[in-house]
Amino acid sequence: MAQQLFFIITVWKRGMKNINLPISIDEAQKIILESVKPLTDEGISIMESANRVLYEDIVASTMIPPRDNSAMDGYAVIAADTKGATETSPVKLQVIAEIRAGGLLDGKEVLKGTAIRIMTGAPLPKSADSVIPFEDAEEEAGYIRIFNETVKYSNCRFAGEDIKKGDKVLEKGDRLRSADVGILASLNYQTIKVYKQPTVSIISTGDELAEIGEEVQMGQIRNSNAYSLYSEVKKYSGLPDYLGIVKDTLKDTREMFLKAMKSDVIISTGGVSMGKYDFVKEIYSDLNIETKFEWIKVKPGRPCTFGVKENKLFFGLPGNPVSTLTSFLQFVRPALLRLMGAKRIRKPVLNAILEEDLKKQPGKAFLLRGHFSIRNNEFYVSTTGNQNSSVLRSMSRANCLIVIPENTSEVKAGEKVAIQLIDHDEI
Ligand SMILES: Nc1nc2c(c(=O)[nH]1)N[C@H]1C(S)=C(S)[C@@H](COP(=O)(O)OP(=O)(O)OC[C@H]3O[C@@H](n4cnc5c(N)ncnc54)[C@H](O)[C@@H]3O)O[C@H]1N2
Ligand code: MOO
């Protein structure tokens, strides 16, 4: 009875929502994405644009390539002129001119029975409809001998075959890859409009933490979460600011969170489970941050708090180093990408053959650290060792997370399991 009363009071205090009940990964992601308001835009040089998200559609104002040109170093010919060419009875054509890449046509034209020496990328002269590579012809005293027939359009590249004028080549919401940057350059863009990068404050909580360079006192461990998170934030194009370690007191935690409020996203690690000195949740209600959820039906990462205040997103990630990273991947990563306007935010998931038996309790999903490999065109996966949430080594060896659903209790070697590819681009 007393327990029920406590529960009702807690729910009431936290805005009539049952945030104490664990929710699924999918539900949590939905709540987070509903809370994200994408940032505004800025203009940047295309040189800085890799991994940024376009704020505008890119519509081609010219054709690429702009004119028909040669795909090989060789001879521009009229294909019909090579008819009947064989090893024993080669066709002979007179070489009447040469065109270099970047050179001008200057009215040069291939006439019947002639050829023009041409370099890769040089404009195709009028009436030529095929290019014979140097290695397939023999030149001597102003003539070439050709030993094989060629067909029309061999080794020719045509105007607009890559991009036509008016094509929408890239879209608002695309996260730019290197080939995209190349297309922008081909279309003469020096600068483009992209979404701003989210600023991200990172806070480590815990009296037990020693900073890099400090002596580790009795009972202390080295702070690793701030650094693994810092690199994850950078990987997903956020602007991280590591604010340091905060001691487990309400006063210090409040001061640190007030300092962090300058950012779009505030990530803390530790202090979100049931410990006597876990203050993060208390600080949320203290600072009027609306808590949306506190527990997820997943291991690692069961305690995980998410809150919102004035478009700022607050993630209270669990302290265990692996739980921090898996929770980042499932929850913070999609939020950062959506803040930056990205359309694609899902990591690829595929099926792989499990190489060992796995058992778990039902009731929560498991995200096991795995390593996948490909043999005989099949994906295989095995775990990377000790799956304790504090064991970072097995995360460091992992290239995927094996997803065992909530209600499954056992999977046998040889069965297929879903694997989430953690190092691959979003789809
Ligand atoms: N009574 C309960 N205890 C715990 C529960 C629970 O449900 N009931 N959940 C457990 C689970 S699961 C996790 S995960 C942890 C999460 O706890 P906190 O987020 O409150 O984290 P802390 O207690 O502060 O730390 C947990 C663990 O992680 C180490 N840690 C913390 N910060 C860092 C850092 N920056 N770098 C490296 N390692 C860090 C810390 O030393 C602890 O060992 O709670 C369980 N307990
Ligand atoms: O859920 Mo905790 O994150 O397993 O160790």
Evaluate: CB of 316 within 6 angstroms of ligand 1: no
Q: Are residues 89 and 55 in the same domain?
A: no
Share of the chain above pLDDT 90, in %: 93
Which atom of ligand 1 is closest in space to residue 208's alpha carbon? 41
Residues 207 and 292 in one domain: yes
Question: Of 107, 129, 157, at which residue does a domain stop?
Answer: 157
Cβ atoms of 84 and 149 closer than 8 Å = yes
Whether residue 3 has pLDDT greater than 70: no
Within-domain flag for 6: no
Quick check: is 265 in a domain?
Answer: yes
Q: Contact at 8 Å (CB) between 82 and 149?
A: yes
pLDDT, residue 5, reads 57
Residues 141-152 have a mean pLDDT of 97
pLDDT of residue 92: 98
Considering only CA atoms, which residue is closest to atom 26 of ligand 1?
A: 319
Residue of minimum CA distance from atom 4 in ligand 2: 300
Does a structural domain hold residue 338?
no
Q: Is 319 in the pocket of ligand 1 (CB under 6 A)?
A: yes
Its sign, for the CA torsion 226, 232, 237, 238, is: negative
**CB of 300 shorter than 6 A to ligand 2:** yes
| E-assigned strand segments in 84-170 | 91-99, 114-118, 130-133, 137-140, 143-146, 156-157, 168-170
Does 324 contact ligand 1 (Cβ within 6 A)?
A: no
Domain boundary among 109, 136, 157: 157
What's the pLDDT band for 276 if we cut at 50, 70, 90?
Answer: confident
- Closest ligand 2 atom to Cα of 302: 1
Whole-number Å distance, alpha carbon 279 to ligand 1 midpoint, is: 12
SS3 286: helix
pLDDT category at 211 given cuts 50, 70, 90 is very high
Cβ-contact 224, 212 below 8 angstroms = no
**CB 207 less than 6 A from any atom of ligand 1:** no
Considering the domain architecture, whether residues 272 and 203 belong to the same structural domain is answered as yes
* Whether 180 and 204 share a structural domain: no
Range 360-386 average pLDDT: 97
Q: Which tokens belong to 127?
A: 């009436």
**Token code pair at residue 414:** 């040889």
Q: Tell whether ligand 1 has an atom less than 6 A from the beta carbon of residue 294.
A: no
Return the ligand 2 atom nearest residue 323 CA.
3
Judged by its nearest atom, the ligand closest to the C-alpha of residue 389 is 2
Its pTM surpasses 0.80: yes
pLDDT for res 274? 85
* Ligand 1: centre distance to CA 273 (Å): 7
Q: What is the pLDDT of residue 328?
A: 98
- Last residue within a domain, chosen from 157, 175, 210: 157
Ligand 1 atom at shortest distance from the alpha carbon of 226 = 35
pLDDT recorded at residue 18: 75
Residues 188 and 207 in one domain: no
β strands within 60-142, DSSP E:
69-70, 74-77, 91-99, 114-118, 130-133, 137-140
Same domain, 138 and 190: no
CATH code, domain carrying 188: 3.90.105.10
Whether residue 12 lies inside any domain: the answer is: no
Asked if 310 and 382 sit in the same domain, the reply is no
Q: How confident is the model at residue 1 (pLDDT cuts 50, 70, 90)?
A: low
Q: Is 326 in the pocket of ligand 2 (CB under 6 A)?
A: no
Whether 383 has a pLDDT exceeding 60, the answer reads yes
Nearest C-alpha to atom 2 of ligand 1 is from which residue?
A: 274
Confidence of residue 17 (pLDDT cuts 50, 70, 90): low
Which amino acid residue places its CA nearest to atom 32 of ligand 1?
Answer: 319
Per-residue pLDDT band at 181 (split at 50, 70, 90):
very high
**Residue to mutate (ligand 1; options 221, 230, 273; most atoms within 8 A of CB):** 273
Q: Is residue 119 part of a domain?
A: yes
Pocket test for ligand 2, best of 269, 298, 323, 390 (most atoms within 8 A of CB): 323
- pLDDT tens by residue, 166-178: 999 999 999 999 9
Gap between the Cα atoms of 282 and 267, Å rounded = 15
Whether 265 and 245 map to the same domain: the answer is: yes
Query: ipTM of this predicted complex?
Result: 0.97
Residue 33 is inside which H or E element, if any?
Answer: helix 25-35
Ligand nearest to the CA of 365: 2
Task: Evaluate whether residue 7 is within a structural domain.
Answer: no
313-372: per-residue pLDDT in tens?
Answer: 999 999 999 999 999 999 999 999 999 999 999 999 999 999 999 999 999 999 999 999
Q: According to the model, what pLDDT value does residue 103 have?
A: 87
Q: Are residues 317 and 214 in the same domain?
A: yes
272 Cβ inside 6 Å of ligand 1: yes
pLDDT of residue 278: 84
The CATH number of the domain holding residue 298 is: 3.40.980.10
CATH, residue 85: 2.170.190.11
Beta strand segments in 206-348, E: 209-210, 221-222, 239-246, 265-269, 290-295, 298-299, 303-309, 312-317
- Total domains in the fold of the chain: 4
Beta carbon of 301 within 6 Å of any ligand 2 atom: yes
Asked whether the predicted pLDDT for residue 7 surpasses 60, the reply is: no
State the Cα angle at 57 between 51 and 59, rounded to 5°: 115
Residue 172 lies in a domain: yes
218 and 304 in a common domain = yes
Instruction: Please state whether the peptide bond connecting residue 405 to the residue before it is cis, i.e. omega within 30 degrees of 0.
Output: no
360 lines ligand 2 (CB under 6 A): no
Cα separation values, 371 from 23, 165, 235, 266, 385, Å: 27, 45, 21, 31, 10
**Domain ranges, residue 406:** 349-421
* Residue 5: inside a domain: no
Same domain, 303 and 221: yes
Domain CATH code at residue 356:
2.40.340.10
Assess whether 209 and 261 both reside in one domain.
yes
Residue 9 has pLDDT above 70, yes or no: no
- For 182-202, write each residue's pLDDT tens digit: 999 999 999 999 999 999 999
Per-residue pLDDT at 218 exceeds 80: yes
Structure tokens at 323: 């739980």
